[in-house]
Structure 1
Amino acid sequence: MSVDRRSLDVAASFRDALARPEFGLTDGLIGLCVSGGGDSIAMMHLAIRTIDPQRLRVVTVDHGLRVGAADEIALVAGQAARLGLDHTVLNWTWDNQGNLQAAARAGRWKAIQRWGAQNSIDTVMLGHTEDDQLETLLLRLARGSGIDGLTAMARANQRDGMRVIRPLLDVSRADLRGWLRGQGIAWCDDPGNDDARFDRVRARQMFSSLEGLGLTRKRLLQTVDHMQAAHLSLQRAADEFARAHVRQDAGDLVFAPPALAVDREDAPRRVLAAGFSWVGGHVYRPRFDSLIDAARQARTGQQVTLAGCVLAPQTDGGARLTREVAATQVGGRPVAGAADTTGVIWDRRWLLQGAIAPGLIFRALGDGLSQCPDWRAAGFPRTSLRASPSVWQGDTLVAAPVAGLTNGWSARIVADFHSAAFAIED
């Protein structure tokens, strides 16, 4: 039997991608996010030919928005079963708030992240292709994005404690479908992919016009490559700047005056934005204008609340960034894959360890600070301690480790700012 040339190229590209050092694959479980479309269906079949099937788990998110979605889920379930892969369907329901596509992306990721944590999956694989990369670049150009935005999608990155990899970014959508046809593998086409009401579809439809101006796929992908290289250089510079001008104090960040000089230099802007993301527990940074205004107010002695954080001016001209009490989470989740049940992640950053018992509540200390007689000895401002983790049984304060009330409990930051903020990897 003859071999389809495109089949060979696509399979080789997939294998080569997984061998890249930045993918950092471990021997752990890998979640395959499969919707039923051609890209993710191809990813599933390529994965099982490249990776030990015992390490693979398939997940599909049902958004409940289209009647045809049931057929797509059935297709994925059937193919996964024939391949001997475990398949899970997660449900997401839109609350009719905000932009539908943005809400669906956020809801889909949250469901996948929770599923991964519950099943000890440390890596998820997404089926984004070269076409998705180009569309992302065009959309961000239209929004006036800077260098960071124009890096488009990374081949590999960390998000909410999980490794996210995209091994198909060097393969076009057309080549993937050619490979599927050559292998006799069926897939579903989402009618939304041709709906011009969506920005991404309009961006896709621009390709033929742009090529007439010399903006070919190759040129646009070169732009992404240049921006990714520039981004890495700026991240390294920001990392050095942060180590010189930012001090982590438990869950707070203390900025020296140079770190608030955001009017012209990139490094202070990048560092301050990363600080808000880290303290606030957010993937995305505050809007640029809001960030600049917050730094300006802090420099003039004003306290600022932004993105779930409080930026308080210091006597030396710098500022302390603290979690806002009202923005913290109530409750915690067990540490994924832990051998015992003594660990709870609270507010995304803190690991609380102690004697877990039914009915315990994990929340910010808040007014419970008055029940901590030794809080002054902790050496933190009141604002910081009020936002620190605490353990409650009903209305009774059990522990507030940062404020000096331990009762067998401890609290520590899961990943410190300087090791996590700029995601620089060798």
Structure 2
Amino acid sequence: MPVKAAAADIVDRFQAALTDHSPSANVRIGLAVSGGGDSVALMHLAARHLDPKQLYVLTVDHGLRSEAKTEIAEVSKQAGDLGLHHTIAEWGWDGKGNLQAAARAGRWGAIYDWAMMQNIRTVWMGHTEDDQIETVLMRLARGSGIDGLRAMYPLTTRDGLQILRPLLGCARDDLRAWLTDHDITWCDDPSNDDPRFERVRTRQMFAQLQALGLTRKRLLQTIDHMQAAHTSLQMAAYEFARQHVRQDAGDLLFAPEALDLGKADAPRRVMAAAFAWVGNRTYRPRFEQLLETVAQARKGATVTLGGCIMAPCDGGVVRLLREAAATTATRHDAAKADAKGVFWDQRWYLEGPLADELTYKALGDGIKDCPHWRQSGMPRASLLASPAVWRGGALIAAPLAGLSNGWSARIVADFHSTAFAIED
């Protein structure tokens, strides 16, 4: 396809991507815009197809390059010209661990916090067809199975946020041609050409692979096959979980059949999803660690992994519960007049008499101030990680432990309905 034709086709492909995911009027949409060509194209295309009042733009400043300030200023100017609200979030690297991994985690944390503050439940990202291909090649090099080789879906959910990628059907070069045709500027991050980074090396290697017949079309076909297989496996896991896993508030109870991780895919998939759900983590534990932990629990040991505790019960049943020390406290210094409750630990919704200077965290040692906790029927270890309301060091309420004081707590989304959705 000639470049001009491909560039002109960008609008049609963008519209096609929105056919099944077009947002309702007045629903707020977040746009993650770095200033690169892909995300800038996303911003301009979105502004052409939706009411600008619906669109909220976020740029994360990683503080790694002095040029970034100028690039972010350009994003802010373009967003303003389009009538879009623009926010800048700053992130700083502490020098620990892998820089790119830390930057990805920091970027997502900034996006999530911003979305929650702006009452945004859907964020659009500028991942392209090229990102899709690079992702599957990197995962192939790591020996990934079906879950890794499926790459990215157009619509996924992460930490309760919907992530839409309307540019997955667009090539990076075509997007830049479209921007050039419309006299729209963008910035190129020099790290995108730095061979120290895995994705850059993968991008450079792809040119050689195409010469050997591993073309863009072939890789996209492979991704399509893997996504179909992944969907079937997720459905099988969901049915297996319905039969062999029971939810008890924020805990999961596994029948003996669900603890046999020998060879079948469904028990393995269910167990990995369970640790991610109970532990409130995006990524599942390593398979070898998972096997060892479950094996110890089947022998009667109480073990921990990924912010979770696995404890044997009667009849060969095993309980998976949250580790209180792995939860985080949240504080709301100013209660909104129209608010009825607060979210905590990304799984719980606490509803009650909101007031300033309240802190929401795990019950922990506060259980000593809950004289009727045994009447709940929940194990003590489970209640230690249950949601509680505090003012300073004083316990105000612990709904699951029998101390309500006008407060209630409920799981926002249960395990069976959320753990087997299409996730990254």
Q: TM-score, normalised by structure 1?
A: 0.95
* AA of the residue aligned to 1:364: A
Aligned to 1:353: 351
List aligned pairs for 1:69-80, cutoff 5 A: 69-80=68-79
**Superimposed CA distance per residue, residues 56-100 of structure 1 (whole angstroms, 9 cap, x where no aligned partner):** 122111111011112211221221122222211111111111111
Where do 1:98-109 residues align within 5 Å?
98-109=97-108
CA distance 1:227–1:335, shift in 2 (3 Å): farther
Deviates more, 1:283-292 or 1:391-400: 391-400
- Hey, what does 1:135 align to over in structure 2? 134
Aligned to 2:154: 155
For 1:24 and 1:332, the matched residues in 2 are separated by 34
- 1:61 maps to which residue? 60
Is 1:382 paired with 2:380?
yes
Name the residue aligned to 2:18.
18
Counterpart CA distance in 2 for 1:361 and 1:374 is: 22
Counterpart-to-counterpart distance in 2, 1:335 and 1:16? 43
Using the alignment, how far apart are the partners of 1:291 and 1:24 within structure 2? Answer: 39
Q: CA deviation at 1:403?
A: 0.9
- 8 Å contact 1:349–1:415 — kept in the other structure? yes
Show the 5 A alignment for 1:106-121. 106-121=105-120
Are residues 274 and 332 of structure 1, via their aligned partners in 2, closer, same or farther at CA, if it must alter by over 3 Å? farther
2:31 is matched with which residue? Answer: 32
Paired residue for 2:232? 233
SS at match of 1:131: helix
Distance 1:67 1:424, change over 3 A: closer
Superposed CA offset, 1:314-348 (max 9, x none): 22112000111111112256999x87233121222
Cα gap change, 1:366 to 1:229, in 2 (>3 Å): same
| Number of residues of Structure 1 aligned to a counterpart in Structure 2 | 420
- 351-360 vs 321-330, greater mean Cα deviation: 351-360
Q: Specify the SS of the correspondent of 1:206.
A: helix
Give 3-state SS (helix, strand or coil) of 2:9's partner. helix
Aligned to 2:269: 270
Tell me, yes or no, if the aligned pair for 1:33 and 1:124 is still in contact at 8 Å.
Answer: yes
Structure 1 alignment gaps of length 5 or more:
none
Residue 4 of structure 1 and its aligned partner are, at CA, apart by 4.2
Residue identity in the other structure for 1:375: W
1:49 maps to what in 2?
Answer: 48
| Aligned counterpart, 2:370 | 372
Query: For residue 103 of structure 2, what is the amino acid of its counterpart?
Result: A
Distance, in Å, in 2 between the alignment partners of 1:152 and 1:405 is: 46
Q: Given residue 343 of structure 2, which amino acid in structure 1 is its aligned partner? A: I
Cα distance change on mapping 1:159 and 1:96 into 2, 3 Å = same
After TM superposition, the structure 1 = structure 2 runs for residues 154-303 of structure 1, keeping only pairs within 5 Å, are 154-303=153-302
**In 2, Cα distance between the equivalents of 1:222 and 1:423?**
22
User: Helix, strand or coil: the match of 2:35?
Assistant: coil
Deviates more, 1:48-57 or 1:189-198: 48-57
Secondary structure of residue in 2 paired with 1:422: coil
Superposition CA RMSD, Å: 1.9
Q: Is the 8 A contact 2:334 2:355 kept in 1?
A: no
Structure 2 unaligned spans of 5+:
none
In 2: Cα distance, 1:339 partner to 1:415 partner: 25
Query: Retained in 1: the 8 A contact 2:56–2:85?
Result: yes
Partner of 1:8: 8
Letter of the 1:414 counterpart: V
Q: 1:193 to 1:93 in 2, by over 3 A?
A: same
Q: Which residue of 1 aligns with 2:417?
A: 419
SS in 1 for 2:88: strand
Deviation at 1:220, TM superposition (A): 0.7
Tell me, yes or no, if structure 1 residue 396 matches structure 2 residue 398. Answer: no
Q: What is the DSSP-based 3-state SS (H/G/I as helix, E as strand, rest coil) of the residue aligned with 2:314?
A: coil
C-alpha distance in structure 2 between counterparts of 1:334 and 1:266, whole Å = 46
- The alignment partner of 1:36 has SS state of coil
Equivalents in 1 of 2:14, 2:339: separation in Å?
39
224-233 vs 339-348, greater mean Cα deviation: 339-348
Percent identical residues: 61
Q: Which residue of 2 aligns with 1:145?
A: 144
- Paired with 2:334 and 2:109, the residues of 1 have a C-alpha distance of 17
| Mapped contact 2:333–2:356 kept (Cα < 8 A) | no
Partner AA of 1:16 in structure 2: A
